Amino acid sequence: MNHLKRLIGVLSITAISVLITNGLVCAQDAEKYFNVGSDSNGDRFLLDTTTMGELDTITMGKKKHKLGEVLKIYQFKDDLKFEYMLHASCGDERLWMVGSRVFDRNTGRKISEGKEDKEIPVTGDSLGNIVMKYYCQAIKARGWVQQQ
């Protein structure tokens, strides 16, 4: 009988540990991604807030961008993960698509990659405007004071 009580106790502690760990992982993901909108099918665009740092650099072609200037937006559709890389200029209120990648969502294998230099509109309720507003307020760029 004592063995049964101990087994139940150990299983209960294990179950509670798993639930707490899963809750922390979900909370970390919630802080990592900011929902900036969705497409006509309802598939969300998620801004990766960890790419808003200022120390490291990545190279897109011959240009080097600080990670704080290259933002990553993710979208998940079926078995694919789409990654869009954007360059934001808060002072000019302009946003450019500088690259994109498509991954197999299950294996993480890169399927395709493209480099671009396409300006994205930042007007009204557009995805571009939402990204710019969130990013520029997060880095406390001049002229982008968050409204209370």
pLDDT in tens, 89-147: 888 888 999 999 999 999 999 999 999 889 988 888 888 888 888 888 888 888 887 65
Over range 46-68, report the average pLDDT: 57
Q: Identify each DSSP E strand in 30-132 by its residue range.
A: 33-38, 44-48, 57-60, 63-66, 70-77, 80-89, 94-104, 110-120
Cross-strand bridge partners of residue 74: 46, 83
Q: Cα separation of 87 and 97, whole Å?
A: 6
pLDDT at 12: 42
**31 pLDDT above the threshold of 80:** no
- Global pTM reads 0.67
The answer, yes or no, to whether residue 14 has pLDDT greater than 50, is: no
